[in-house]
Amino acid sequence: EAGVTQFPSHSVIEKGQTVTLRCDPISGHDNLYWYRRVMGKEIKFLLHFVKESKQDESGMPNNRFLAERTGGTYSTLKVQPAELEDSGVYFCASSQPNYFTDTQYFGPGTRLTVL
Amino acid sequence: SQKIEQNSEALNIQEGKTATLTCNYTNYSPAYLQWYRQDPGRGPVFLLLIRENEKEKRKERLKVTFDTTLKQSLFHITASQPADSATYLCALEMDSNYQLIWGAGTKLIIKP
């Protein structure tokens, strides 16, 4: 079974440009999460989808970030326009919770560098 | 707001010994506390989950304890191996909304 995949693995862009990150969750997983880790800091929650609906987007930094999950399958996270402080590693995770637990499976991350 | 503290300094352990990592939190106890392993260039990998009403959970060479009075979880790896070298992260799920609050992680180095 394929794991969570993310594309691209690295992205280097100029301040003011737009970048779109993609996440393909494990097939059949309804829950999809986006997280970010800024250099030297802990991982921070960004948002949570259940199928195509945004369940919780309380961690989104500002309105320059837009996440979508059309059809409840893959998700995209767009940053427009990118700022220097957006640099970091963006992780996606998916899960299919049951009564007992919600094990989240993480992708390898996309390293975003804004120059 | 909830803060999580993990040892920021790397932990060096001799192969075969037990490695113990600490996770402390500041506010009210989470519904669930999770431990993850992260290798360089990879995403976190789930290891163990312990619930608020549980004291201890084991899985093979791994053991997690949860003390809500001390607001602390300990993560033990027995008979440690060089392959156990990685960064270990603890994450709190405060209620059933699945949002995780993360510690910064502790780097564990197992020396042969």
Q: Structure tokens of A34? A: 């986006």
Hey, are the CB atoms on B103 and A45 less than 8 Å from each other? no
User: pLDDT at position A1, please?
Assistant: 63
Backbone angles phi, psi at B66, to 5 degrees: -140, 115
User: pLDDT at position A72, please?
Assistant: 84
- B41 inside 8 A of chain A by CB: yes
User: pLDDT at position A98, please?
Assistant: 72
pLDDT tens column, B36-94:
999 999 999 999 999 888 999 999 999 999 998 999 999 999 999 999 999 999 999 87
Is A100's pLDDT higher than 70? no
According to DSSP, the residues that pair with A53 across neighbouring strands are A50
Inter-chain contacts counted by CB atoms under 8 A, chains A and B: 54
- A90 inside 8 A of chain B by CB: no
Is A99's pLDDT higher than 70? no
Confidence of residue A102 (pLDDT cuts 50, 70, 90): confident
- Identify which has the larger pLDDT, B20 or A97: B20
- A44 inside 8 A of chain B by CB: yes
